[in-house]
Amino acid sequence: MTEQQPHAEPTPQDRPAQDRPAQDRPAQDPLRRSRTSGAWVAVVAAAVLLLLLVIFIAQNTQDVHLSFLVWDGSTPLSVALLIAAVIGIALTAVVGSLRILQLRRRVHRDRR
């Protein structure tokens, strides 16, 4: 023979948070993320990148001869590489922005 357990009422912890009374809900985490903490992480990351950039520039000071279309001259290697990187980043940002605009227009058109 099997014994049947009496049906127990759900405890407050078994119910979803929105169904529980306010005093039964867990308090918000005081160490949760905020805009200030996000900004702090961004500042620290930027400082580390700036330090690495300064080290890169300090180690690559030899002059290189560059020719581009009608421009011909000498510049430190680090400056030439940084200019090339900035131009690459700008081109990538332009192409990415155009794609985002294209997708937004398509979504806007499909919503009509």
pTM higher than the cut 0.75 = no
- Cβ(63)–Cβ(77) below 8 Å: yes
Give the dihedral of Cα atoms 48, 53, 54, 60; nearest 10 deg: 150
- Which tokens belong to 21? 């009374």
Question: From the centroid of its chain, how far is CA 16?
Answer: 32
For 32-73, write each residue's pLDDT tens digit.
777 777 888 889 998 999 899 888 888 888 999 988 888 899
